[in-house]
Amino acid sequence: MILHSPRTRPAPWSIRRQSATRRWMIPFIAFEWVWEWAAFALSNWSFLEVLEYLGSFSVLIAVIFYFSESGDRIKQRHYQAWQVINTAQGKGGSGGRIEALQELNADKVPLVGVDVSSAFLQGLDLRGANLTRSDFSSTDLRNSNLTSVDFTFSNLNSANLRDAALDHAKFVQANLRSADLTGSSLVGADLSGAILDDSDLRRADLKDIQWQRLKSLKLANVAGVRNAPEGFVAWAMSNGAIDRPDADE
């Protein structure tokens, strides 16, 4: 609320001048006296009061427009993120894709069919993302957090997933040929229909994985797997898997 109190009319110069106890003070008192009259005159000008109200009103209008256009700003941000991802498609390096992917996922945008093949995305955090039919072939995803990600029908051929968090991820019908899963955590992961031929599962945590309908793991290295479900290692070895702890890193 704008409050206005009337200003007191300044004293005449003949009276105000008497406050100068020294001659050198007169110019300073005169200067202040002139501005007191200016302030007094302006305080009684209603137009200035109207301008103050208009200023406050304009701020209110700006706030209303800011919130009313928030949806458009979010759409624009998403468009820019997708532009970053698509422009860098098929190229190495990050190219801003880590931030773009994480921003889209944070806003609950489905990342179905995204193509980030051959990208360097080490340390990516896409917990809970929908990456159905995505292409992560030859992508460097070391130390990434991909907990509860949906990789159904996705291509992860030759992906580097070393030490990645893949707990409860869905790899239904996913292509994991030659994927490096060394030291990764696959607790509760669904591998139904997945192809793990030539993959490296050394020291991976396989606790509670859904493996009964796993499609193929020929030449997959299962040396030192941790917390494997009962019967998994024996089944894997009988279906072409290998146990080579000293395989080339």
Q: CATH number, domain at 129? A: 2.160.20.80
Number of compact structural domains in the chain: 2
Over residues 57-70, the pLDDT tens digits come to: 666 666 665 555 55
For residue 186, is it left (φ>0), alpha (ψ between -120 and 50) or beta?
Answer: alpha
pLDDT at 28 over 80: no
Shared-domain flag, residues 62 and 177: no
Shared-domain flag, residues 117 and 203: yes
Contact 128/149 with Cβ under 8 angstroms?
A: yes
Residue matched to tokens 């003949």? 14
Q: Is the whole model's pTM more than 0.75, yes or no?
A: no
Q: What is the mean pLDDT of the chain?
A: 87
Nearest C-alpha neighbor of 81 from the set 61, 105, 57: 105
Over residues 68-94, the pLDDT tens digits come to: 555 567 888 899 999 999 998 877 788
Domain assignment present for residue 78? The answer is no
Which residue range is the domain that position 194 belongs to?
102-249
**Single-letter residue type at 229:** P
- What's the whole-number mean pLDDT along residues 170-199? 98
Over residues 95-134, the pLDDT tens digits come to: 899 999 999 999 999 999 999 999 999 999 999 999 999 9
Domain assignment present for residue 138? The answer is yes
C-alpha to C-alpha distances, 178 to 22, 56, 147, nearest whole angstrom: 96, 65, 21
